[in-house]
Amino acid sequence: MKSTHSFLALSAVLALANTCHAADKPFQLNSGDRVVFYGDSITDQRLYTTFTETFVVTRFPEMQVDFVHSGWGGDRVSGGGGGGIDQRLSRDVFAYHPTVLTIMLGMNDASYRPFDAVVYAQYTNGYQHIADSLRRNSPSTRITLIEPSPFDDVTQPPKFEGGYNQVLVRYGAYVKDLAARQGLGLADLNTAVVTALEKARATDAEKAKKIIPDRVHPGPAGHLLMAAELLKAWNAPSTVTAVEINAADKSVNRQTSTLVTDLKVDGSVVWTQLDRALPMPVDLNDEVTALAVGASDFIESLDQQPLKVTGLKPGKYKLQIDGEAVGDFTHEKLAAGINLALLKTPMTQQAREVHKLTLQHNTVHFEAWRDIQVRLERHTGTKFALATSAVLDAYKEEENSLIRKQRAAAKPLPRRYELVPSN
């Protein structure tokens, strides 16, 4: 068994290799970034945002990035239940000093009716006010504007001619134009999701309705597709790890974002891997998620973990990782390659634990923000302010503890692989 020092040395080598690989098309987040997600109830669901966070933490476990969720149900460009737009920006954006900010507004602004020029002007003027405020108060923040996510006019009939989503697309065109004029980032969370809805409906019309159950707020499956579009806009890499082994000549022909050691071939094929990343935890046992993922390019574009083993004697082989059975595969299938990200492996189980901690720390933040800070901000008095501050500090300490556990849980571990003849 390798010593801890040996694995630390391997980690350093892998870190350099990963940096060189990423330089081809760098991911847009960096260590030290703080990302604030701003928007209405769709952001307030804390689903596309937490999927995005978990992807970053598992794909770049050495990268230190903070995530803050500042969505509020019912919000428009003018603000909403959490206060007017200037209060919202001051308390829920600028106070966190973000280096990266995403904004998605429009679902409520268009008022759920056919296009209205007066309502549209309120949106464009209000959005411009937000952009001007950001330029004044947070000029160095890297901003990604998000075109409004879809209203489902695909799996259910439109409520009026042309449908509400076409109104949102028109609002999205303004967001796209604003991003181009001001040199801001842009993510389209509408087009690809609509395309996936169309494909899903053709496969299973009833299950497809559950991707966006109330036509406005996506379920987890819909949010996963939305997260994918944001991540792709940020140049997220498709590959988790990639390994190719030639059993016939006992060689490793490819090792991307991982290091293969201790390869032995003697009937069975045995080796150790120290990866640089974990796969994205996707619950393909959930029928709606499986339908949505199958109707999209999520796996191809964001969750590739290929393992290819050539030169095996004809027959079937059992793959085990850390002694856990992963599956049985023919030598032809192994030569063609399997995607480990789609299988139940110790790595996918580890990534699920990371996601649980992502959800937990965001719940703590939400409670501190909405139940303590916002609810009590109207009260005055030094003693009251000190007591409130002490409570918020306690919440922050708890959240930081969960984040530390999340980062520790995301650290890849050396894994022992075995391919054993099974017939």
Q: Which residues contact 315 (CB under 8 A, 6 or more apart)?
A: 330, 331, 421, 422, 423
Where among 233, 267, 288 does a domain terminate?
233
Containing H/E element for 185?
Answer: strand 185-188
Instruction: State residue 164 phi and psi, 5-degree precision.
Output: -70, -30
Does residue 193 sit in the same domain as residue 258? no
In a domain, 392, yes or no: yes
pLDDT of 381: 62
Does residue 318 sit in the same domain as residue 408? yes
Where among 233, 258, 287 does a domain terminate?
233
In a domain, 73, yes or no: yes
Does residue 263 sit in the same domain as residue 197? no
Does residue 312 sit in the same domain as residue 386? yes
Only one residue has tokens 């990371």, namely: 354
241-290: pLDDT as tens digits = 999 999 999 999 999 999 999 999 999 999 999 999 999 999 999 999 99
Does residue 217 sit in the same domain as residue 249? no
In a domain, 292, yes or no: no
The low-confidence residues of the chain, meaning pLDDT below 50, are 1-23
Does residue 229 sit in the same domain as residue 248? no
pLDDT of 386: 75
Does residue 72 sit in the same domain as residue 174? yes
pLDDT of 11: 38
pLDDT of 383: 62
pLDDT of 418: 98
pLDDT of 389: 86
State the Cα–Cα distance between residues 355 and 353, nearest whole angstrom: 5
In a domain, 330, yes or no: yes
In a domain, 16, yes or no: no
pTM of the model: 0.92
pLDDT of 250: 96
Largest CA distance in the chain: 79
Q: What CA–CA distances, in Å, run from 353 to 10, 323, 347, 356, 395? A: 25, 20, 10, 5, 21
H helix intervals, 241-381: 287-294, 298-302, 331-336, 346-366, 375-376
Does residue 183 sit in the same domain as residue 207? yes
Tell me how many domains the chain contains: 2
pLDDT of 25: 78
Show the domain range for 183.
31-233
